[in-house]
Amino acid sequence: MKLAGNTYDRMELAGAFGDLGTLIPFVLGYITLTKLDPAGVLLAFGLGNLAAGLWFRTPVGVQPMKAIGAAAISQGEWVTPGMIWSAGAFTALFWLTMGLSGAIAWVARVTTKPVVRGLMLGLGLSFVLEGLGMMREQPVVAIAGALIVLLLLSSTRAPAMLVLLAFGTLVAFWQQPGLFADLRLFAPALHLPTPRLGGIGAGEMLSGIVLLALPQAALTVGNAIIGMAAEHNEHFPDRPVTVQRLSLSHGLLNAISAAVGGAPMCHGAGAVAGHVRFGARTGGSMVILGLLLAGLGLFYGYAAVRLLQAFPRPLLGTILVFAGVELASMIRDIRGRRPHVFIVVITAGVAIWNVGVAYLVGLLLYYAVRRGLITI
């Protein structure tokens, strides 16, 4: 699809917000439950998206690492900021090593298409289920949001995401009359995050690595690197990315994030699916989102948090549902061979529960079938 002038700009702007359904809940959780500085969190995600847009020149989004984020937020009473930053620093070192050594390329070679497609299907369905759960909180608002997306999804004159964001803003101010007065209390002021890694104790560092970083590894390799490469290259065969380049990107992103007090970050198949679904076609969408997040973090830290908290969760759920459908649709090239379909379905079913475990189960199942240990 070739677009020109203002139409192209509108679609890139709309596509920049295609992953908000994942980004906002994790950002709020990190800030409100684990007490990370909003300046560091928002600046890290801003710099990450900005760097990804300039380096890849396609909508390679940056999102929170889900296993680390879920553990940190759900156990916020004992997970310290030092543990989170330690997990990010270890993650950076790990993926830089995997990329520079070429080990990630070997992992990608032994990972077959049925396993990758199963991960995509499972992750897509998990997005849909999570999104539907969020939509149930306010069904009327959710239905209105879904209708906006369905009616405008192919529109270049009034992109669905931009209309949805405008609708969500109106709903937020209508449901919370004091929101405008709250935001007026926050005047813009430069707030630079301070380096944090120097004050972390040995116990915090070990706990962050063992309890947060290591459980994330299988999820990252399955979704954020191999699955991401497959999803991205399906949409942009003329601008392919390699797993080695994605591994190095993960290392650099997390080194920067840990240094400024941010949260562990990754790329992800779901992120690119969301951005593409709502109109993004170049890295320009990531540059837009990156500049916005960095600006909010540096000048409007807690005001930005207040605004993000006010945005209706059912509309974030709507975004998740459509991103999930886009991601799950990637299985359309798996057809005909019964064993491959079986592997896709089993892998997807496990992936709804845990993507990292699903990756290992899918690999074991594929090679067991190939060697004749299992007959399907």
What are 21-60's pLDDT values in tens digits? Answer: 999 999 999 998 888 999 999 999 999 999 999 999 999 9
Statement: residue 233 has pLDDT above 50: yes
Whether 350 is in a domain gets the answer no
Output the pLDDT for position 195. Answer: 63
Statement: residue 2 has pLDDT above 50: no
Whether 118 is in a domain gets the answer no
Output the pLDDT for position 196. Answer: 61
95: nearest Cα among 110, 107, 81, 113: 107
Burial environment of residue 178 by CB neighbours within 10 A (0 to 12, 13 to 18, 19 or more): exposed
Number of neighbouring beta carbons within 10 Å of residue 245: 17
Whether 132 is in a domain gets the answer no
Q: How far is CA 372 from CA 145, 342, 344, 368, in A?
A: 49, 15, 18, 6
**In sequence order, which residues have a C-beta less than 8 Å from that of residue 105 and are 6 or more positions away?**
242, 243, 244
Rg (C-alpha) for the chain, rounded Å, is 20
Q: How confident is the model at residue 325 (pLDDT cuts 50, 70, 90)?
A: very high
Whether 227 is in a domain gets the answer yes
Q: What share of the chain in percent tops pLDDT 70?
A: 95
The CA distance from 240 to 264, in Å, is 25
Whether 306 is in a domain gets the answer yes
pLDDT-wise least confident of 183-192, 307-316, 320-329, 364-373 = 183-192
Cα angle 283, 3, 277 (rounded to 5 degrees) comes to: 55
The CA distance from 260 to 60, in Å, is 22
Domain tally for the chain? 1
The domain in which residue 105 lies consists of 5-112+137-320
The CA distance from 316 to 304, in Å, is 16
Whether 352 is in a domain gets the answer no
